[in-house]
Structure 1
């Protein structure tokens, strides 16, 4: 089980409580107001207070289709434990399984039909803004004050910066305990060593490295089988990205986050331009088109919508470069099941055309928990989240004494193999309040965390540069919390169009002709109006570019 250590400054106060606990854990309708106001007068929103009667609460739970033994998520040990503990506090919890790759579609259906659970989850801040504007979400300020004291103590820094719209709270944001939790580039050090190569530092050097991987086959898998860069389909569910290489091309993350998993665009001379509207963006995808034609990325990436081929490529040892959310030790461990001497290491950000280096770093807030107006008992939803705050170590480390032991503030896995089978593949998705449990660990703390492994020194050598890379080069994008009606109307169509259009550009025989289609379609779907609206927001907040 991978755990992160060392305090993050913004979370010190909150995490002092966490360690104390661990040692001592659009359906419309309504008036859009707080359920403590007129809507609660009927009693429907205030929850049951009958002694001995359980309050029903239905909670979203992502299904990543990654069960190692076919076990149902709803039958797992931590799910059962949470349900058991919740009953002691008067809550009857039902987990509603949501396929991770269908999050946006399913959430939209739930909001439109009023059939969703009491807590829906998303990373999409724009979706929260849209549903709040439409009157589809409960306001949570009064409910949080009344039923969420442990929530407020635990995730105060995240509540301070996220989850509100027009001055009212509509979401409970999870707090990222470590901002070293975003996409990161990784490369096979054992392949570099066999070829006598240094790690690439620019996009041009990355091309030469990928070409050498293909032509010289350092893994001995056969030249025709080498897929130098593991990459899945460009889609909502993609598990591999190109943030890092695109940063290296000069595209920044000056715009709001969307479900396009690449840098958003650049804010220059008082104007924001999306990546596809930039010359740097065009040249990056020309680069990708070149890689595709030369067989340096998967020929089947367009159809790999579930990232299964992507995972197969790197775990089977046929790929030498990738970008994903996993840290390099996680990927190394997975690959070593097929290739015992494989070693993935962090690749620092590529030097950009202006001579600087940068990478995407996670904000202090992450996942958003929303309560749709269709929920008959929003109070129970907040009571559940407060219950989770009081039992937070269950979804941070598992069951103490069974899955982990606490040593000097660190959660150390007792039996990593048991945890991998029993909890690791899902239990962090049950944690709606914190992502991780500590900040970035020191090298010595990494050794402590992995003391029960046979190679803690090697693991520390692999992971320490990963954390230091975020600390040295990480950049956070803007949090725009003002109304954006153009985005509400157009961003879903733009995103869906670009999934398909950018894929076509990468595989096109005539890149320039296909890129014309990309830009034309982007404009037709409201891209220029979208950029103009983002520009207004960035100017109003005095945003400074991340491209420096």
Structure 2
């Protein structure tokens, strides 16, 4: 198995073992648990067994990714969960699958027909707001308090930030265990070393470094081939973005055009302004226009719509700086196939004019669990999720001593290849309550995961940046009619107009056209709606 792939599997299977977690709850070995249950527990079990089981239908995504054709509903973990839920909770669990690619369409059909499973899932908060507004899903505050104590213990950080509509809970969000993920800046350390330079800490320093890359060709690829900053077209198929540099210019995160791969805008005196309509946004794109004219970003910037040129520049060692989702270890591994001495390292967030440093980290919330009003026993649905919380290790990592062993608080896969084939392709879809399995690994944990000290050297700063500087912009928990009407056209326009501004011969003239077009398409009405929604939240 290739090393990078193995490490990704290892990281996907490990988690910190929580202190005080009972062995019976871990269910790690697939055994019967604690044999010395109290008399009250025995009485409770006898009472449950004498009652007719409550049936719970749970929706799961079918990604059609089984390596051997096994259906997710026939998997070993599903069968274990069904048997365990019936024995311990008197719940008869049926799993109902829907194709991942048809999530929204299928869910809308289910909800309209009244035939939805008792637990339905989505990543789309807008659907939660829509169904809540229509009265199509259960309010969950009281149900969660009564039947979900283990849910609350497990996912409280996610509950704090997601799943409510106008202050009332309508969804139970999964918790992202590791929030150290997302776009970040990386640079070729081997190029810096040859030039005797340090990684940039501001946009001005970035310009100086990029200029040196171009003029001195530290990679020896030929001055005409050097790509100081590799950057594809601004669109959803892109593999690189504007986040880090634009945060450095003073543009912040917020509930703006989420389809744009860049910071969304600034809140000034209570008024939200999308990035395209801010002084900081204009200043940043003037900077990008300067870089383009001087050959410091990819000359194929506008036409590289599928990131093909970008990928080539990375893998052949022509590129010196990027802002992307890939981590520095994977990038180093890929580039070393062509350039053995290549070394990509993390660039910490740039200092802004006020001295602050900021970057986004992945939100605490993930998947959203809803209970349709067609569900006759919503308490049973919450009880199932609470059962899942009590047995969370199984849907995170499989069975202890079968799929993993515990080493110094880490779950280390026994056989990653076997796990990938047997459980890895579906565990994340059964796990409705957590995404990821541990927080950001420490340097000591990274060394345990891979004896190669360079792995920890490259990855420790990558995780550190999210912990030290990561944050998230304000959220909105209600429908946005103006956004629903205008965001598609505004996003498409922004892609095209901002690209033209970057390559314009007369930036000031082009920027005037860019802002005028934004305003005519309803950009300021879009921003005003965000302003009003944020005010509603503050005034509750």
Task: Give the structure-1-normalised TM-score.
Answer: 0.74
Matched-pair contact (CA < 8 Å) for 2:59–2:97:
yes
Aligned partner (choices 516, 522, 528) of residue 526 of structure 1: 522
After TM superposition, give the deviation of residue 477 of structure 1 in Å. 1.3
Q: Secondary structure at the match of 2:75?
A: helix
Matched-pair contact (CA < 8 Å) for 1:173–1:365:
yes
Q: Which moved more, 1:344-353 or 1:210-219?
A: 210-219
1:480 aligns with 2:482: no
For 2:279, the equivalent position in structure 1 comes to: 279
For 2:396, the equivalent position in structure 1 comes to: 396
After TM superposition, give the deviation of residue 281 of structure 1 in Å. 0.7
Q: What runs of 5+ residues in structure 2 fail to find an aligned partner?
A: 1-6, 30-50, 86-91
Matched-pair contact (CA < 8 Å) for 1:74–1:80:
no
Structure number, greater radius of gyration:
2
Aligned counterparts of 1:316 and 1:397: Cα–Cα separation in 2: 37
For 2:80, the equivalent position in structure 1 comes to: 85
1:469 aligns with 2:465: yes
For 2:201, the equivalent position in structure 1 comes to: 201
Q: Secondary structure at the match of 1:161?
A: coil
Alignment of 1:66-465 (within 5 A): 80-88=75-83, 89=85, 90-98=92-100, 109-110=105-106, 113-114=109-110, 119-122=120-123, 124-126=124-126, 128-135=128-135, 137=137, 139-141=139-141, 144=144, 150-236=150-236, 238-255=238-255, 258-300=258-300, 302=302, 310-370=310-370, 385-386=385-386, 388-397=388-397, 400-401=400-401, 404-414=404-414, 428=428, 431-448=431-448, 450=449, 453-455=450-452, 457-465=453-461
Matched-pair contact (CA < 8 Å) for 2:28–2:400:
no
Matched-pair contact (CA < 8 Å) for 1:329–1:459:
yes
The 3 A distance-change label for structure 1 pair 419 and 82 is closer
For 1:59, the equivalent position in structure 2 comes to: 60
After TM superposition, give the deviation of residue 280 of structure 1 in Å. 1.1
After TM superposition, give the deviation of residue 53 of structure 1 in Å. 11
Matched-pair contact (CA < 8 Å) for 1:56–1:380:
no
Q: Which moved more, 1:326-335 or 1:269-278?
A: 326-335
Q: Secondary structure at the match of 1:190?
A: helix
Q: Secondary structure at the match of 2:229?
A: coil
1:298-329 deviations in whole A, cap 9, x for unaligned? 45555666656545543454333222344333
Q: Secondary structure at the match of 1:320?
A: strand
1:241-285 deviations in whole A, cap 9, x for unaligned? 321110111111244672323222112233221111102112222
After TM superposition, give the deviation of residue 406 of structure 1 in Å. 1.6
Q: What runs of 5+ residues in structure 1 fail to find an aligned partner?
A: 26-49, 100-105, 544-548
Aligned counterparts of 1:513 and 1:426: Cα–Cα separation in 2: 53
Q: Which moved more, 1:368-377 or 1:484-493?
A: 368-377
Matched-pair contact (CA < 8 Å) for 2:327–2:459:
yes
1:382-426 deviations in whole A, cap 9, x for unaligned? 677556545533553455445542212212344567778887788
After TM superposition, give the deviation of residue 528 of structure 1 in Å. 1.1
Task: Give the structure-2-normalised TM-score.
Answer: 0.75
Matched-pair contact (CA < 8 Å) for 1:127–1:488:
no
After TM superposition, give the deviation of residue 347 of structure 1 in Å. 0.6
Matched-pair contact (CA < 8 Å) for 1:61–1:430:
no
After TM superposition, give the deviation of residue 358 of structure 1 in Å. 1.6
Matched-pair contact (CA < 8 Å) for 1:111–1:372:
no
Aligned counterparts of 1:240 and 1:429: Cα–Cα separation in 2: 28
The 3 A distance-change label for structure 1 pair 143 and 62 is farther
1:492-546 deviations in whole A, cap 9, x for unaligned? 4433443443334334455444434432333233321222233334455569xxx
| CA RMSD, 1 decimal | 4.3
Aligned counterparts of 2:213 and 2:456: Cα–Cα separation in 1: 26
Aligned counterparts of 2:257 and 2:322: Cα–Cα separation in 1: 21
1:169-221 deviations in whole A, cap 9, x for unaligned? 23221213233233322222222223322101111222332343344443444
Aligned counterparts of 2:519 and 2:494: Cα–Cα separation in 1: 11
The 3 A distance-change label for structure 1 pair 336 and 517 is same
After TM superposition, give the deviation of residue 16 of structure 1 in Å. 6.0
For 2:43, the equivalent position in structure 1 comes to: none
